[in-house]
Each structure stands twice: as C-alpha cells, then as structure tokens.
Structure 1
C-alpha cells in the first residue's frame, strides 16, 4: 500500500463559514476519485454515538456471540486450517427504518437500545438527504433531484446493518467481509475507533479507512454511479479480520425505493451513456447472487439480459 495516500477527512461544519467553497470541492473530489470520505463535525450528538457503541457491543456479547461461535462450528471453520473464500467472519443483524421499521421485532434488544437506534436512524436519514443535496449542487443538478429519484412512488428504503467482527485466530485465512461494491445509494458508517479493518481499493492498492472517534464514513453505492453517469464511483472495499479486538460496524444504507427508476441524469450525459436504466428492485435481485463479483458485468446484464447468463451466482445477501 502506498504510504503517502491521504484519506479524505472532511469537516462538515466548514460548510457554514468562509471555507464552504473549499469544503464543497473536497466533497466533489472525494466522490469522483475515492468513492469514500470521512465526516467530522457532522451534527450527530457524540453522546448518542457513544450509547449506540456501548449498547451494540453489549447486545453482541449477550445475544450474538454464542450464535456466532455455533455458526463457525456448523460450517466447520471454528478451527481454521485452510483459506476460506465463501464465508465472512462477521456477526450481523439488520434494523429496518424505511419504509417500515422492524425495531420492535428484533429479539433480545433492550428498550433503551431500540430508542437509541430509532433516534440514530432519524439523524442519519437527515444527514444522508443533506449529502445528496450537496452532491446535486456539485453536479449542477437541481436541488432535490437525487432524493426525488430515490423516492420512487413509495419513498426510499433505509436500513442499518449492525456488525461485529470478533477476534480471528488466523486472519490471513479468512476475510471479515469479502471485497465488494455496495449495490444501493449512500452508505453512512459508524465504525469502531479502536479496532481497524476496513479497506478500499484505490488505484490498485488496498488503503486503510482510518478509524476516527465520532466520525461517520461515507461511501457511494452502485446507484449513484449510474445516476451520475460515472462521474461518481462506487468502490471495492473489504474488512480484514484481526487477531485481537472485536470490531464494531454500524452501516446505514440510504437506498432507492424498490420501484425507483434508475438511469443516468440527462444533464450529465454528453453522449449516449454506457450505463443502463432499470428498476432498483430488479438490480437488487441480480446483485443478491453476485455481490462479491465486479460491478461492470452487473451493469452490462441490466442493459442486456442475455449477459446475465455469464454471471455465476456465488453469494446470497440481505436486500433492503
């Protein structure tokens, strides 16, 4: 990995002062050249984030840790002696916010945690919509354009994947999460500030996403690449396992509604676009089987259904 690469960290509070133009330029550059950036001073209360971290880790110890160990045993990888390429060293559950919440259907979650997750979800939803409008401004799109596209006829979908990556005895043999691009729209990640592991692929090198306390990591999904006609990119990323420490990850996905019609914005296409037009749910049905494969064949398959036969499903993922 190149040592002189500086990961983009953006102070969102500077949008309200004399450095607004420079801050907007930093966001635009990160979207074009990284597909990732890290926000500080984003407006989400730090005490809320601290409570989410504490309760997430408590929930894992109480309700998930034993299930994770049983899963490892059931798959025969509790004692690693070979490289494993079809399983992730990851314990997860999903909180759905929009269009309907499942917070009160999740077993063994405390009422305190449910309340905190509900508030946290609303804060992240607002931040996601603010960022989409900032992207519109940078792209020369009318304000609200991206939110309108995402809305479809029934509103966007929004959910949080709560993950823990427990210590792994042989991290060289298995990934915490295999390399992939995200299918959806805008991803907002609250990650552990003590245990690292998240990396993105930048110019052929795997680059660490720095674990900063109280930051929110932003990355772009495939839908924003299509809508921006490739000006903004979704980027391959992965999570490495670690021998010590339990890494927490709370990733919230602000995605288009299932019936949202996705296509390149007309004002961003100087010529016929290489990107397809499709209904978001159709893309997700394809993605669910080929998440850990390159995105370009997925785009081609949405343009030309016959190309889908060249894709070999290798993974099943949650869709929301």
Structure 2
C-alpha cells in the first residue's frame, strides 16, 4: 500500500524545494489529498482553537445533538441510514463578509481566536494556490484570480464534531462526497480518526497527526486544471468512542466567478479538448446542494447542458 503523502512545507526554502514541489504535484495528481507539517501556523494558536472548539461543543451543541438522536430514534436503528450524517456542525463565514458577530452562542474569546485562525488559513490557501500554479506552469496568481469574481473569493469554515456512535456500521459520520469548491484546509483531531479517501477503489485512512493541516482539492480545481488535478471522494466513519473534531476551511471561488479550464493547460495538451464546462460558480453550488452525495461527473455534464448565455 502506498503511504499517504505528508509534506514538510519548511523544505520549500532550502535545497529540498524541487523534490518537495514534486511531492505536492504527485499528491495533487494521484491522491487529491495531502497532509502538511511545518506549515508556518503557530502550534499555540492551533491548540487554543482545539480547546475552545471542544469546549464550545460541550457547552452549546452536545445536548442539541443528543436530543436530535433521541427524536429520530437513531440509537436503535437496524438498517443502514442514507439520508443523514452523524455529525454536529457550525458554519462560520469569513469572506466576502463575516457572520461571526451574528452567531449567538460564540463567546468573545472563541470568536477572536477563530478570526485569527481564519487569517492564517487564508494566507496558507493562497500560498498553496501559487505552488499549484508553479507546478502546473500557470502564471503566479492565476488560480487566485480565477477564484475572485467581483467581490473576491468565498472563504468559510465548517466546524464539525463527530460524537461516539453506537452503530457506525449503519450510520456514516459523513457520507462519501467530493467537495464542490476550491481548496480545502482541514485541522482534524489528532487522536480520534475517521476520515477516509477513495483511491484506486479502496478506502484509505487519512492519518491523524498533531498540528498538521490536511489539504484536499475541490471540483473547481479539477475544472480549472482540465482534469490534471482531480477532486476525490472522501467520507468520515463514525467511531464508537471519542468525539472527533474536524475544522474544515473552504477557500472557494466568489459566487459570480466564471469557472472554466485554464487555456494554457488546454493548449498544452493539443489533442485534449476542454472536457469540462464553463459556468458561474453559484450555479454549480445550486446544483451541488441537491447532489452532494452523488458522483461529480453528472454535475459537470449538467453544467455543460445549461444555457450558454448564463456563462457568457
């Protein structure tokens, strides 16, 4: 079994830059996922984020989750559940506007810490997009610009907790899907595992590692790279003990950004016509909302079939 790619970002600044860039390229091409260590984010900040996230779940969300489980009779299910996930979630929006002031049960310390964390993650996302440009032979800044739209990129965080589940064989923590957006940065629990990706027909564990950030690519990067880099199906397996923390931040195109294969990548492969559609990101998201847990290919086909005036 191939080992899951773990990339030390600090090596970009020394003589190991070339092999490190090759590892990133290989991970994007063959895995759609990789794990970053020495990414420049302060371990102290990450520890604070983790402590406050777990505290917020215990104080504000755990009881609500238990009530939902009781209401739906999930403790006693006898057959597989395919229409819900065993997760408790909170959505934070950072760009183009923040919603953090409006979320009632976020205390001031947690709000401040998550804002600080989002700033660091945004920087890291933009650094990674430029590394991808370099590997793809695109001009620096191309991907960031492609994501911009009229108001800049969309950036938000899904804070999830996956409590212990009595029937992990019947209820998924999170059902299999590809991510709709751009580049995803995940700070996950380093004790309780559960995240898996599909590679060559097999489910592979994404290893929990202290202070690492897991990166995966969304559908929009597959379109822009004309399939050179692909989004990958992944899921979360619920566990019988321990609550798994997952903080996934999505650096996505702006709602009115027009997404299409980069002409430079289509030209490079003359025999390859752009196999991917041109569309407005918001239109893709509307379609994705109802089809998240299905294969991505029909979504791309549906976008191709849409009125071309909408993407002019």
The normalised TM-score by structure 1 is 0.93
Question: Distance between the aligned counterparts of 1:82 and 1:55, measured in 2?
Answer: 36
Q: Which residue of 2 aligns with 1:273?
A: 274
| Distance in 2 between residues matched to 1:254 and 1:218, nearest whole Å | 11
**Deviation digits for residues 291-313 of structure 1 (CA, Å, limit 9, x no counterpart):** 0000000000000149xxxxxxx
Which of 171, 175, 178 is the matching residue for 1:174? 171
**Kept in 1: contact 2:157–2:250 (CA 8 A):** yes
Deviation at 1:74, TM superposition (A): 2.7
1:140 aligns with one of 137, 140, 144:
137
> Any runs of at least 4 consecutive aligned residues in structure 1 with deviations exceeding 3 A, and if so which?
none
Using the TM superposition, give the Cα deviation of residue 78 of structure 1 relative to its aligned residue in structure 2, in angstroms. 3.5
Structure 2 residue aligned with 1:157: 154
Q: Does 1:108 align with 2:109?
A: no
CA distance in 2, matches of 1:278, 1:74: 41
Return the alpha-carbon distance in structure 2 between the equivalents of residues 17 and 188 of structure 1: 24
Q: Secondary structure at the match of 2:159?
A: strand
1:243 is displaced (CA, Å) by 0.4
Alpha carbons 2:75, 2:166 under 8 Å: kept: no
User: Partner of 2:192 in structure 1?
Assistant: 195
Question: Counterpart of 2:7 in 1: which secondary structure?
Answer: strand
Question: Which residue in the other structure is 1:297 paired with?
Answer: 298
Q: Is the 8 A contact 2:75 2:167 kept in 1?
A: no
Stretches of structure 2 that go unaligned for 5 or more consecutive residues are 308-312
Establish whether residue 21 from structure 1 lines up as the match of residue 37 from structure 2.
no
> 1:5 pairs with 2, 5, 19, which one?
2
Correspondence list, 1:17-96, <5 A: 17-96=14-93
Q: Which residue of 2 aligns with 1:318?
A: none
Q: Is the 8 A contact 1:69 1:78 kept in 2?
A: no
- Calculate the TM-score normalised by the size of structure 2: 0.96
Q: What CA RMSD, in Å, does the superposition of the two structures yield over aligned residues?
A: 0.9
Q: Give the unaligned 5+ runs of structure 1.
A: 307-320
Q: Counterparts of 1:28 and 1:40 in 2: how far apart (Å)?
A: 16
Number of equivalenced pairs = 303
> Counterparts of 1:80 and 1:224 in 2: how far apart (Å)?
38
Deviation at 1:267, TM superposition (A): 0.8
Q: Distance in 2 between matches of 1:184 and 1:95?
A: 16
